[in-house]
Structure 1
Amino acid sequence: MTDGVTLAERLLQVRAGIADAARDAARDASTITTIVVTKFHPASMVRELHGLGVRDFGESRHQEAQPKVAELADLEASWHFVGQLQSKKARQVASYIDVLHSMDRDSLADALVGNSLEVFLQVNLTDDPGRGGIEPGAVQQLAE
């Protein structure tokens, strides 16, 4: 890594920080899932992280994620799509991810009908129309 710290050392630092935060919150750190976002990083780094025990990886760019996931198909890993997903790319993305972190509109839900994956609903709790997410009153409808 560029600052002289190895990937393994940096991962240990992150895990220690999570353990400290969990302890401060009276939580068991083993119940927390760490998702390592590997956007702009090569498949070789994902493979190294997997060797260090990481099993959950996040991507936010379909063009980069699809070939990376295919190259790493031999790994036992869970792939997360984080960030905004265009409805027109939803079916393709759903073919290789396990978890979608930004379900935020009916058109996206419609595009994913028939796919079995976990989703997180993105709710906009502000009055800012520039922010993504559905209004709190629409959660039940989108969830169904």
Structure 2
Amino acid sequence: MIRTIQDSVRFSCTCCFQKFENDLVTIAYSSNSITTFNISNPLNPIEKKYLQSNQLYGPNRLSIIENKAYMINSVNDNFTEIDLSGETPKINYIVPSWMLEKVYGLTTNNGLLYMVGRDSRYFLIIDPKIYIKN
């Protein structure tokens, strides 16, 4: 083990992470949050950005396209786009759908989002560019 970072409030039930450039982007199910760490020096990861919002209630998977994080949420049956380019992550939009009931799988390819809902039994392919941003 090289180093641990512990914060039971901010990182409670961290369930997914993805490397993006020199950063590690994480989401925490119980904390309703997204955190970005600079990991250019793995011996000294530094927290860069943090967003906690009840609008993110229960995020469970994460995938990144360019400077946008896409999170799926199996509690509220939705997906969210979060802009990572500013000093603080910003929610651009949240898209709820009954087709995302208990959505558990998320990946990206060629700018598209691929999602599967466990209970709805749907496999969805979504172009995130079609949604109007706030």
Fold shared per TM-score above 0.5: no
Q: Which has the higher strand share?
A: 2
- TM-score, normalised with respect to structure 2: 0.27
Q: Which of 1 and 2 has greater Rg?
A: 1
